[in-house]
Amino acid sequence: MENYFQGNLLHETNFVKEKVEHNGGITKDTLIGDIVENHPEVVETLMGFGVHCVGCHVSPFESLEMGFKGHGMSDDDVNEAIAALNEVIEKSKNHNESADETIHLTRNAAEKIKSLTKKGNKSGLRIHIEKGGCSGYTYEMEVAEKKNGDFAFNEHGVNIFIDKESFDKLKGSYVDYLDSLQGAGFKIKNPNATQTCGCGESFG
């Protein structure tokens, strides 16, 4: 189990700037892969419009318009869907700017954690922030039992355990799971990060 995490779990994040931005949101030209990478909070909404290929090999190169029209949507349908996705992003932004005292899981992440905890006979996913990397910190994750002093959260039927020091830097974060050509693993979108690079993040 330890080797699985070493080989397949993404301990740190490297957020890619969207190719096209519009008022901080997304447009019909935004790549699906960028949306999944930068806005995991909209994945469920996106799938609700019939786009279930968010983790497939073409998503890093396919625009949102291409994905929607590939599923038979008209121009009006596409515009309506984009407005709905941007509304989700805006609500998430406002929510994170308020006192968000929890950790959020996408359904993809929850299903993967359920599978791993069942195989490892553990009760949840433990997230810990370690000092290291050129930006200051990296994320460490493992299927584990709750330790004394850990905060415990449950979302989509999955337990998440976080020590207090790590939680202060992680609260309001979204945890997602991606499986694509770029690699399979958990990704964290952390609103508290002030600087991000390929080997970690820093916090103000």
Q: What is the pTM of this model?
A: 0.53
pLDDT of residue 7: 36
Q: For 39-62, what is each residue's pLDDT tens digit? A: 777 877 887 887 766 555 556 678
- Sheet strand arrangement including 137-144: 151-155, 158-162, 124-131, 137-144, 200-203, 193-197
Cα 107-113-115 angle, rounded to 5 deg:
105
Report the pLDDT value the prediction gives residue 53, as an integer from 0 to 100: 61
Answer yes or no: are the C-beta atoms of 70 and 33 closer than 8 Å. Answer: no
pLDDT by 10s per residue, the chain, length 204: 443 443 334 333 333 233 223 345 788 888 887 887 777 778 778 878 877 665 555 566 788 888 888 878 888 888 888 888 888 888 777 655 545 678 888 888 999 999 999 988 999 999 998 876 555 678 889 999 999 889 998 989 999 999 988 888 888 888 988 876 666 788 888 887 765 555 455 444
Residues 175, 141, 163: CA angle, nearest 5 degrees: 90
Please write the tens of the pLDDT for every residue from 103-131. 888 888 999 999 999 988 999 999 998 87
Task: Give the three-state DSSP class for 158.
Answer: strand
**Cβ atoms 104, 174 nearer than 8 A:** yes
